[in-house]
Amino acid sequence: MPELPEVEVVRFGLEPAVEGAAVTRVQIFDDRSLRRHDGPAEDFVERLTGARLLRPERRGKFLWIPVDGLGRDGREEAVVVHLGMSGQVLLREPGAELDRLTRIVIDVDNPRHGPLRVDFVDQRIFGSMALDHLVAAADEPSHRIPSHVAHIARDPVDPLFDDEKFLRALARKDTTIKRALLDQTLVSGIGNIYADEALWAARVHYDQPTRGLSRPRAKDLLAEVRLVLGRALAEGGTSFSSTYVNVNGASGYFSQSLNAYGQQGKPCPRCGRPIVRENFMNRGSHFCPFCQRVRLPR
């Protein structure tokens, strides 16, 4: 599933294309990609056609494009995009051939770049688009976010992420550290790949009880999370196949820099012992049993 770096790469690529653009046409090829929209496909098409789009925003793995002005019910709105497992948002020239897995097409007219096409392509149809009304963010009432995103915590690369609040909440959690990192209500944007990489870098076992994690080690782990996310952003995200690409259809190459995730059987870059994969929450955790050991609380 695309995580923070992949979604941010898509947001960044969309920004110059859609900011200030007017929607000229909307085509729906598969209603399942509107499962999170409150209304039929015709409602999505009618409300979005003719709208002017603003600068795309992101929180965690959620991306949204605010719509200028008020919606039909007098509330501010945004197009919320969730990539799911295999969703792609691609920029195309008008008249370009459609991918056979295209689910939604939004034609826009940008005042600087002219006509463009935004294609939502999704192989497994776990992703979605929806028009959603904006609400005040709980931690910043002057900022408006989609109601679908209101329960999502800020992510570690957000300038307003509160380190102290996160560390206090983590200390109160009665769980294990990787489950905490994947809890999007505690900290957003971190998925399986970057959790494994940050835990390896911080020498913390994925099954480490949070109550046994000292404050200095928790601070070190948060720092490693930021470093891993930053490096992944710089390298365009992580691609293992063609399911994740940026808006121009190019793959990210952070997969070449992974130390733990997907490296089972290979030598740990730090100690040389084999990386191990264990089942975890219907997925896998990758770690070095020598470098990353569980430390029980006293």
- Give pLDDT, residue 238: 64
pLDDT of residue 71: 83
Would you call 2 a catalytic residue per the annotation?
Answer: yes
Q: Cα–Cα distance between 144 and 152 in angstroms, integer? A: 13
What is the identity of the amino acid at 83? L
pLDDT of res. 140: 87
pLDDT at 247: 65
Query: Whose CA is closest to 288, among 58, 152, 142, 271?
Result: 271
- If DSSP codes are grouped into helix, strand and coil, which group holds residue 140? strand
Q: What is the pTM of this model?
A: 0.90
What pLDDT score does 254 carry?
A: 67
Report the sign of the C-alpha dihedral through residues 260, 262, 265, 266, in that order. negative
* Separation between Cα atoms, residue 256 and residue 238, nearest integer Å: 8
Residues of the chain with pLDDT under 50: 240-241
Q: Give the Å distances, CA to CA, from 207 to 46, 114, 190, 277, 292.
A: 49, 52, 16, 13, 10
pLDDT tens for 88-112 read 999 999 999 999 999 999 999 999 9
Residue 3 is a catalytic residue:
yes
274 to 60, 196, 260, 290, 295: CA distances (angstroms): 32, 15, 10, 9, 21
Q: How far apart are CA 206 and CA 200, in angstroms?
A: 9
Active-site pick, 3, 6, 77, 224: 3
Where do we find the tokens 């999502």?
152
69 bridge partner residues: none
Q: Which listed residue (55, 72, 165, 283) is catalytic?
A: 283
C-alpha torsion 239→244→247→250, nearest 10: 40
The Cα 213–Cα 295 span in angstroms is 8
Gap between the Cα atoms of 180 and 186, Å rounded: 7
169, burial (CB in 10 Å: exposed 0-12, middle 13-18, buried 19+): middle
Which pLDDT does position 261 carry in this prediction? 93
Burial 38-66 (b: 16+ CB within 10 A, else e): eeebeebbebbeebbbbebbbbbbbbbbb
94 is catalytic: no
Label the pairing between strands 283-287 and 276-280.
antiparallel
CA 36 centroid distance within chain: 17
Domains plus CATH for the chain?
Answer: 4-149 (3.20.190.10), 163-287 (1.10.8.50)
pLDDT for the residue 241: 47
Q: Which of 11, 47, 59, 61 does the annotation list as catalytic? A: 61
